[in-house]
């Protein structure tokens, strides 16, 4: 699959989630809230862990899809209430991964996996401190 095909497929999945939640969508999906959805998210996560344990690639693929759907569904719920959008979620994780990998996206040098771990933990601690000060 090409990157463009993946983008197109992702967009189609987002549209499916929105359609399920639309006024003329699925009654069950429409009545879900973040609170009612917690159990399903946990269930799908456990099913993915089981698939990983069994190293069954077809089962892993299926469970990754289920978990991706759960994430998109939750984003849709929060977007509908005006809390945040999927774009904001994506922008946030992009920024975080770039920030936490200065050895890849910047000029930091690391010599070992232990250096990577120390760097990651230091960056996380700085982020936590910034959030605390910003509150």
Residues 1-53 have pLDDT tens digits of: 687 889 999 999 999 999 999 999 999 999 999 999 999 999 999 999 999 99
Does residue 135 register a pLDDT over 70? no
Q: Which tens digit of pLDDT belongs to each residue from 48-87?
A: 999 999 999 999 999 999 999 999 999 999 999 999 999 9
pTM metric for this prediction:
0.86
List the structure tokens of 47.
């099913």
User: Crossing angle, helix 113-134 and helix 86-99, to 10 degrees?
Assistant: 130
17 contact partners, CB below 8 Å, separation of at least 6: 69, 72, 73, 76
Q: List, for residues 88-129, the tens digit of each pLDDT value.
A: 999 999 999 999 999 999 999 999 999 999 999 999 999 988
Give the pLDDT confidence score for residue 131 in this predicted structure: 83
Non-local CB neighbours of 19 within 8 Å, separated by 6+ positions? 25
Residues shown for the chain = 135
Asked whether the beta carbons of 44 and 60 are under 8 A apart, the reply is no
Exposure class string for 112-127: b at 16+ Cβ within 10 A, else e: eeeeeeebeeebeeee
């Amino acid at each position: 699959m090409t990157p463009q095909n993946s983008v197109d497929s992702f967009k189609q999945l987002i549209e499916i989630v929105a359609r399920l939640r639309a006024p003329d969508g699925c009654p069950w999906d429409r009545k879900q809230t973040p609170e009612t959805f917690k159990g399903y998210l946990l269930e799908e996560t456990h099913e993915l862990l089981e698939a990983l344990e069994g190293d069954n690639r077809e089962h892993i693929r299926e469970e990754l899809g289920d978990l991706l759907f759960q994430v998109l569904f939750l984003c849709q719920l929060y977007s509908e209430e005006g809390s945040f959008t999927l774009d904001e979620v994506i922008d946030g994780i992009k920024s975080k991964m770039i920030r936490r990998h200065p050895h890849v996206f910047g000029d930091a040098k690391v010599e070992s996996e232990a250096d990577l771990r120390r760097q990651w933990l230091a960056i996380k601690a700085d982020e936590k401190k910034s959030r605390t000060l910003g509150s």
